[in-house]
Chain A
Amino acid sequence: MTVTEMLGRNYKEIIYLALFASLVVPMIRPIGLPVPIDKTTADIYNRVDALQPGDVVVLGSNIGAAIYAEVYPQYIAIMEHVFRKEGVRLILVDHGTEAPIFAERALTELNAAGRKTYGVDYVHLGYIAGDEAAISGLCRDLHALLQVDYSGNSISSLSMLDDINGAQDFTIVIDFTASADSQFWLNQAYATYGTAIAFGLTAVKVPDAYAYYTAGQIFGIVESLKGAAGYEILIGRPGIAAKGMDAQSIAHLLYIVLMILGNLAYFMGGKKK
């Protein structure tokens, strides 16, 4: 068999096994490559770190099982950071049907009930259907939109919401998603009320968000597992994200090698398809 012939074959099974191995081996035996911290991530860290007592943080979430691995580590890292700031009020709201489960899970994992008082320091409003209309309603007047919070408590019984009506009272909003709700926050809160917005996104969503970032419309982006790993390091709480970065590196190398080999085959094999 000539080299050209060898490269010309379709090594589907071998490629799959190689990818699997390139992920598994570094997970079991980490190499410990340094994780660079993006400026977009650091911008969010600094903004959260500078929050003052009385400020209101809204964490929107459309986390579902499909994007859990990418976005949940960001969500929990930033939530932890917010909880460390004394007197900062936190509102959790969900834009996807699966998101409430992950919001509750994060609260349990961070022992929110033991550290803070529900209704005074933080609330979980739950999932609101209706896409852009839901976020628009929340920004207009959340008391008019909602009767009860996620656990069924009447909104009027939650004292921290007494002086919070809509987007003009939110200090910052960070939305964690792979869907269009980040755009909805931008359209409804930033464009309409000038509220400061940032996103925690899956990698695929980042390129267009970056154009918003460079135009100064959002103040930061946490980008996929990479950004989560950076944030974990910034707050000194390394977790799953930091652990997975070596596997990322090796698998990336594999893809690049595959692309180069594929092109070699193409050019050596007379450019046939």
Chain B
Amino acid sequence: MSQIFKKTASAVLLIVAVVLTCDYFIKDATLRAVANDMNNWAVVIGAFALGLGAYSLTVRHTRAIYQKRTTWPYSALLLGTMIVFIGLGLFTGSVSSPQYNWIYTLIVQPLSSALYGMNAFFIASASYRAFRARSIESGLLLVAAIFLMLLNAPIGGVIHPILPQIGKMIWDLSGATGMRAILIGIGIGTLAIGLRIIIGQEKTPLGGAD
């Protein structure tokens, strides 16, 4: 039985890829309609995928509570918050209803921005502790970073107008060389991994070789 599903999965990979590729350069109404539907179907499956995280977190934290692990109060808090958000969202029928908006602005907005913002502090301590010119390579990184910071902050130009100009030169250089090559590499790399997945050489994304 499992063989049938595996074969179907391989067939689906190949067929979808061929249809969507052809759709890109062949003008044909039927092909286009099929491609449109495939596209929209994937959107629907993607919506279901949004709930996967909720499912695994629920399982994990319910187990933590059930087994009375030391962290169980946190687990209870997490599940409770989740239930409140789901309940309120579904009950008010919209995520921009005043009630939902209120709780979102109260909880998610401050926590989320503080969590991301705390990186600024970590970078500051790393700047002092780790950011050292140990080699030509790290020296280049360091010098480039300093000039670019003087370009980014208005104060660079206030200290001396030449500083942002040097920064701009480095910025243009990195955009025209490093960035450009990285982008080309990403394009080629995506094509390569796509080909490997579609012809079935790369099995990990589907959940391993079993």
Contacts and interface: CB of A to CB of B under 8 A. Distances in A.
A97 interface: yes
A249 B156 CA distance: 8
A6 B122 CA distance: 21
Main DSSP-derived SS at the B contact region: helix
B174 A207 contact: yes
Given A65-B109, A245-B154, A208 B95 contact: no
Interface in A195-217: 203, 207-208, 210-212, 214-215
A140 interface: yes
B136 interface: no
Main DSSP-derived SS at the A contact region: helix
Contact of B113 (A68, A203, A211): A68
A150 B146 CA distance: 45
B81 to A, nearest CB: 15
A16 B125 contact: yes
Given A101-B96, A129-B50, A259-B146, A207 B179 contact: yes
A130 B42 CA distance: 6
B47 interface: yes
Contact of A145 (B43, B96, B110, B120): B43
Interface in B75-133: 94-96, 101, 104, 108-113, 115-117, 120-121, 123-125, 127-133
B189 interface: no
Given A33-B158, A137-B43, A256 B146 contact: yes
Nearest to B179: A211
A140 B180 CA distance: 29
Contact of A69 (B104, B113, B131): B113
B8 interface: no
Contacts of A253: 153, 155
B96 A104 contact: yes
A100 interface: yes
A261 B128 contact: yes
A65 B108 contact: yes
Given A208-B182, A261-B128, A249 B133 contact: no
Interface of A: 10-12, 15-16, 18-19, 33-36, 64-69, 97-98, 100-101, 104-105, 128-131, 133-134, 136-137, 140-141, 144-145, 150-151, 192, 203, 207-208, 210-212, 214-215, 226, 245, 248-256, 258-259, 261-263, 266, 271
Closest A-B pairs by Cβ, 4 of them: A130-B43, A130-B46, A65-B112, A249-B155
20 contacts: A15-B128, A35-B154, A66-B113, A67-B116, A130-B43, A137-B39, A137-B40, A140-B39, A144-B40, A145-B40, A192-B24, A212-B183, A214-B175, A215-B180, A226-B152, A253-B155, A258-B127, A259-B128, A259-B142, A262-B131
